[in-house]
Copies of this chain bind each other. A is one copy, B any other.
Amino acid sequence: MVADTSETTARGSAGAATCTPSLTAAPLGEAEAVALARVLSALADPVRLRLVSIVSAAGEVCSCDLEGPLARSQPTVSHHTKVLAEAGILVGEKRGRWTWWRLSPGCLADLRQALGG
């Protein structure tokens, strides 16, 4: 048990950058631009950038360990994790009372590629 209790990812929302064509290749279509902008918007916040870097460095982080380093209230931290999860950047897993967050594998790589990598 434990395994996959309930992937809080909200995968249904944004497909992330998962098959975005390169920015620098050809003129972006309207829909592609909107999809890419959604992922970039999720990252375009200092608090969320630091949140992602903390998760990335630690591999896996509990929500309760984010309030301190980010110097934000619990609702605000919850809000930011939700935004990042809806963008497909973070994956949340509930274990008991705690929610553990980790990076969605390949997401940042996809984003880099969309940026002309």
Seen from chain A, the residues whose Cβ lies within 8 Å of a Cβ on chain B are: 23-28, 30, 33-34, 36-37, 40-41, 43-47, 49-50, 52-54, 56-57, 69, 103, 108-109, 111-112, 115-117
A28→B49 contact, CB < 8 A: yes
B49→A37 contact, CB < 8 A: yes
**Which residue of B is nearest A46, CB measured?**
B33
B50→A28 contact, CB < 8 A: yes
Copies per assembly: 2
Q: Can you give 14 contacting A-B residue pairs, CB < 8 Å?
A: A23-B53, A23-B56, A24-B57, A27-B53, A28-B53, A33-B46, A33-B49, A34-B46, A37-B49, A40-B43, A40-B44, A41-B44, A108-B116, A112-B115
Q: Chain B residues near A57: list those with CB within 8 A.
A: 24-27
**Which residue of B is nearest A112, CB measured?**
B112
Q: Chain B residues near A24: list those with CB within 8 A.
A: 53, 56-57, 103, 108
- Please, how many angstroms separate the alpha-carbon atoms of A44 and B30 in the complex? 13
